[in-house]
Amino acid sequence: MNRQRWGRVHVDARASVRGVAARGVAAVAAAALAVQLFSCLPSSDLSGYSNGTLPSEPEGIPLDGVLPEGASEELSRPDLGADGEGSGSPEATAGSDCAGECPVPVLLGSEGQGGTLGSGSPDEGSQNEGPPNQGGPAAPADTPDGAPASCVSDASLGPNQRCFALVSSARSWQDARTGCRGRGNGWDLATIRNTEQNSWLLPLLGTLADAWLGASDLQSEGAWRWVGDGAAFWNGPGGTGSRVANAYVNWNDGPPNPEPNGGEASDCLRLRSGGGWADFECNTALASICEGPKL
């Protein structure tokens, strides 16, 4: 064999050796990578890979990382404790060789917020969710218990934040007053101090002709006072009497007998359907209007 041919054989042999060596290094690297990947799998599930099948899904979490519709974000991983801090049982963590380096699936919450299980902190979608009764809407300032101010079912909120109720059952003036006061502290027959109150109360009568109000001259003939605070508002008979201290009055004053016109026989005040006032015999059975304390 001549020198030139021997040189070519020598060169080809060296190239073959280098190729074998390169393929060997690649094979070793691939094997190392496979070992590393398989080491991240729970050791109890490796049997599934040996026969070419996928391992079973961990309880509650699908392999594709997407929760079924209606599922909760609170699903747990085997290596997570109930508090999500990675404090699971020894059996749950013993099967993994990753020492916390394995990738963790990211699950979508009900609002599309991303959260990482086992991260040791709540996901960003729930960081603003405080305990019950914290961070919610504030209760109205005018009611300590948070309930809005309102009247009982048969009463309506009227002027000066007071509740008014029409009692349609006919009673004497005194029995009507007793019924109003029986509703609770601060309740009594209604008083009227201005035009606004008089106009507001009138629709309560509906089809009734009249109803008792909280005033009389029972203590002294001709001296009319409101029962709530005893304030005087009128002195004398109709036509010749006068208001007390410029108080509001709305007597029916048409001829021939302007109110009050009943004399000693009529000592209690009623509201007529037209809006005017009139005196009447206290033992007469009429409807009545009750007034509650200020809310």
pLDDT: which is higher, 116 or 230: 230
Structure letter (DSSP) for residue 148: P
Mean pLDDT score, 237-249:
95
- pLDDT higher than threshold 60 for residue 277: yes
pLDDT band at 84 (very low <50, low <70, confident <90, very high): very low
- pLDDT higher than threshold 50 for residue 111: no
Angle CA 159–165–168, to nearest 5: 140
- Please state which of the ranges 33-47, 156-170, 189-203 shows the lowest mean pLDDT: 33-47
pLDDT band at 153 (very low <50, low <70, confident <90, very high): confident
Specify the pLDDT at position 269. 98
Specify the pLDDT at position 152. 86
End-to-end Cα separation, the chain, in angstroms:
122
- pLDDT higher than threshold 80 for residue 271: yes
- pLDDT higher than threshold 50 for residue 89: no
Specify the pLDDT at position 123. 44
Long-range contacts of 157-161 (CB under 8 A, 24+ apart): 157/295, 158/197, 158/200, 158/201, 159/196, 159/197, 159/200, 160/197, 160/294, 161/294, 161/295
Specify the pLDDT at position 92. 43
Average pLDDT, the chain: 72
pLDDT digits (tens, 9 = 90+) for 13-69: 555 546 545 566 566 566 656 545 545 455 445 555 445 555 555 555 555 555 556
As beta bridge partners, residue 106 has 116
Residue extents of the structural domains in the chain: 1-32, 156-294
Helix H or strand E encompassing 26:
helix 3-39
pLDDT band at 136 (very low <50, low <70, confident <90, very high): very low
- pLDDT higher than threshold 60 for residue 197: yes
CATH 3.40.50.2300 describes domain 156-294: no
- CB within 8 A of 19, min separation 6: which ones? none
